[in-house]
A = this chain, B = another copy of it.
Amino acid sequence: MVAGRLSRLIEPALLYLLGKGEAAHGYDLLARLNAMGLTETQVDPGAIYRALRQLEAEGAVVSAWDTSGGGPARRNYELTDLGRARLASWVTVIARRAEAMSAFVDDARRLLDEN
């Protein structure tokens, strides 16, 4: 019942992973994002691909097909300067929210412990 969504963490997480500079196509990012444990459930592939395309439409990333390796073609993504700036914006927002949430948790725990 009580679940809690991702609430727009996919986008900043993708920007972060791309900022780390390793090979970066969607399917790989999907695995790495799941490994980060930011999310409570497995991340939906559809959400990844859509987020990447929107980020590209906004100029935060650029992509290029890679047909060199075996298997189906990969769309490789790279972070732009605008993308780095976008990540920085996200960080301040998320930091503020994390702090507010921690404070709330402390208050609520105190209340619950009172009984």
Partner-B contacts on A (CB < 8 A): 1-9, 12-13, 16, 19-20, 36-38, 40, 84, 86-91, 93-98, 100-102, 104-105, 107-109, 111-112
Task: List, in ascending order, chain B residues with CB within 8 A of A93's CB.
Answer: 2-4, 40
Chain A interface, >50% SS class = helix
Q: How far is the CA of A44 from the CA of B3 in the complex (A)?
A: 22
A43 to chain B, nearest CB (A): 13
Q: How far is the CA of A98 from the CA of B104 in the complex (A)?
A: 10
A4 to chain B, nearest CB (A): 5
Task: List, in ascending order, chain B residues with CB within 8 A of A84's CB.
Answer: 112
In the complex with contacts A7-B7, A88-B112, A112-B88, A37-B101 CB distance below 8 A? no
